[in-house]
Structure 1
Amino acid sequence: MTTTGTTQVNATRAQTNNVPIGILLMVAATVVFALQDGISRHLAGTYNTYMVVMVRYWFFAAFVLFLANRAPGGILATARTDQLGLQIFRGALLVAEICVAVYGFTLLGLIESQAVFICYPLLVAALSGPVLGEAVGWRRWMAIGMGLIGVMIILQPGAGVFNPVAVIPFVSALMFAVYGLLTRYAARKDTTATSFFWTGIAGSVCMTTVGMWYWEPMIGSDWLWMALLCVSGVAGHWLLIKCYEMAEASAVQPFAYFHLIWAAMLGIAVFGEVVRTNVAIGAGIIITAGLFTLWRERMKG
């Protein structure tokens, strides 16, 4: 999912490089984020998506304010930026992506949504040339093309039963890829703490502006699910921050694909979803292409 803020935490890590602990923390984070996706699907299936994401972002904003207050210089120092417009746009783009992703969960389920969404690292690689001016070699383009073939196998656009709704998770992945690239661009001038701060604050303000018009009364048991959703978001971010403090991103990033495995297990066990053959084949191709791209990046580094 939509993993809020995962792309900017990797810049603030200590000098330690304990890869086994880093891998454990990454796997734990994928478990938490898969649970978050499942809770989001449950709540958004009953209540308005905008309201669900808005409440989730209130808690996220409180979390980044807490972190900023504890940082050297406090909130004012953390919030200081010469790229305010870019930071606000990043935050707005991410919260819009989360709304699209959660809406996709309610229409397509966790398995199919996540199977398509995992192509986002390949989209980042494809767009890094035009957006950041980075060199994209033929091997990377080959991996990108392979991953997109995997997406096509999942979506089956040539089949007579093609459902246009199936494009939603691809749109979500594209939005998240652009967000990731903008985060890398912002990192040329701003610290990770500043980018993380504006992700939560700008996203919360934008979502409140929209979501307050869609408020619905919620039953008591669902408020417990909402509280768990908020806590899982904070727990996931904390695990990722600790993960990237413990180990280099290139060593632990491949294990982020465990997110799809946990989401599939949750989709089958809780929501009665099934893994269609084309989805399994397409997801396998996407993961292979993504791992190849990560390996190439590591070799270059």
Structure 2
Amino acid sequence: MTWVLPVLKRVGALLIVFVGVTFLIYALVFALPGDPIKALGGDRPLPDSVVAVLRAKYHLDQPLIVQYLEWVGGLFRGDLGLDFHGRPVADQLAARWPVTFTLALTAWVIELVLGLGLGLIAAIRRGTAVDQGILTVTILIGAIPVFVVGSTAQLVFGVRLGWFPVAGTTQGWPTAYILPALVIAIFGLGAVARLMRNASVDALGSDFVRLVRAKGVGEGRVIGVHVVRNSLIPAATYLATDLGYLLGGAVIIEGIFNMPGIGNLLFNAIRAHEGPTVVGVSSLLILVFLILSLLVDLLHVALDPRLRRV
């Protein structure tokens, strides 16, 4: 039962981070200038009595800490509250979550396949032009802002070449998802490739690989079984947590490609000053990322007995 204490420590740390980050987001969102309740009336100001009722309904007439505690209480009951038009935030998330999850998972698979493949090729061709080319390209692409890559890819491959849909998801998976998923994937692909390359280089120079080769094992089996299996741990750790980053990164890409996912919902909510929606979406993304990070930590604890004493 030596694993119980490390698990409890990590769960406690997750809760502290979640509370701290969500409170910060809540405070910043509702500290934005302007009154979202009065803005509901548009060009025709709402009566003061209506404004007072709506502010009481959304707890905006109470201190910030009370508002946050009310929101957290609803969260633990599975209630993310209502937006300023009376629509449940949870229902909006449920309707849009499949698009974002499909996009992020498609990008994750592309990152997995291409990242591990390029990293292994670079390790096998270590010191050659292929190795240097893969390293250079992955660094250069990762240095370009995501909105620049997304807009350029949309213009070139969607508008001019017509290979992919320009926007929307009407053509379904995979047609409508491949191009935006590629744009998201290339930013993590470089890290996966470099991690895989470095681990594979170490494995190729290790004693056990030299022993296997001395026994006459074919090079294909040496690479495919012994090198790859012993080089996956660093890249696999990165990939496990990167799914959370991909879900967050979909926000910008969904805006560029006009995909009806959580990112598009968040983008529109920010423009409309829909504080409850912004807080709900942001908190969900944070929670997913923290849970994935916790699972990676627990996996490390299970695989490495030394960490059970930390």
Normalised by the length of structure 1, the TM-score is 0.29
Q: Which entry has the higher C-alpha Rg, 1 or 2?
A: 2
Q: Which has the higher contact order (CA 8 A, sep 6+)?
A: 1
Normalised by the length of structure 2, the TM-score is 0.28
